[in-house]
Structure 1
């Protein structure tokens, strides 16, 4: 039975994980502990430029792993973090799956998850600039709104129109 991750904290902050794979990767250079996680777009953006992270991993069996982990490159359709750290001694990681560099079988952590599922949990906000030609009274009214009011108004109007378009 392969180990399952219960919680992950990065720099002391717990991260919501949609799916994960934790394994020992064995190569001709040695061993590394690898943790691949599907996370929200917000979490991916927050940590994508960081090179070294303090990571606390709690496994479902109660085992805790604390390490300074490095961010690896990942190519996928869903937001994810791939973290790793070199290991000298793997004897304490008996329940964690081992993958050898000559084996081309890696766990597919994206299977069964969609970007829509992720956005139901944590929807990122993106700054958008719009240019529109409107009657002057509408333009004046929009300009009179505070930023929060304008954001709420546009979000509600767009969602209403968007829902109608999707139903057609």
Structure 2
């Protein structure tokens, strides 16, 4: 069965924790589908796009290039799901085929946790805090640069969370 060795989206190689490539056969026709477990950072970067230029290198050395569309698929882990029509010029030998009558999709989330994904690429999130502090502390905070405050708070929280 064909597996994905690497994948480029819009010319950028992305890190993939697990993936599945298959042909979905339905009464409406057949589509090539690619499901990817990625980092939250990668998901945020691509999730709002309608389509991507996709280049997939298979484990057997073949390369599939296509204009693919994104679709939303629920899951516990950050996931990109892409699909496109089959290219009559391409060979899909060895690619798993799934029919609408036998929905046996590969479980690409098995054995992967969000904590493991975050060890590879931790997303940053902007937060606004409302604090009630003595005026001298407020004045000191206002004099500091954002980058330095971010680092200070990060270190304080890491130290606090270790306790």
TM category, shorter: over 0.9
Alpha-carbon RMSD across the aligned residues, in angstroms, is 1.2
Query: 1:135 Cα deviation (Å)?
Result: 1.9
Paired position in structure 1 for 2:121: 122
Paired position in structure 1 for 2:27: 28
Q: 1 CA distance for matches of 2:117 and 2:90?
A: 36
Paired position in structure 2 for 1:84: 83
| TM-score, normalising length: structure 1 | 0.93
Aligned residue runs from structure 1 range 140-151, under 5 A: 140-151=139-150
| TM-score, normalising length: structure 2 | 0.96
SS in 2 for 1:102: coil
**Contact 2:64–2:90, Cα closer than 8 Å, also in 1:** no
Residues 1:107 and 2:106 aligned together: yes
1:124-160 alpha-carbon deviations (Å, 9 max, x no partner): 1110000111122222221111010000000000111
Q: How many residues align?
A: 163
For structure 2, the residue ranges without an aligned partner over 5 or more in a row are none
Query: 1:89 Cα deviation (Å)?
Result: 3.2
Runs of 4+ in 1 over 4 A off after TM superposition: none
**Contact 1:30–1:87, Cα closer than 8 Å, also in 2:** no
For structure 1, the residue ranges without an aligned partner over 5 or more in a row are none
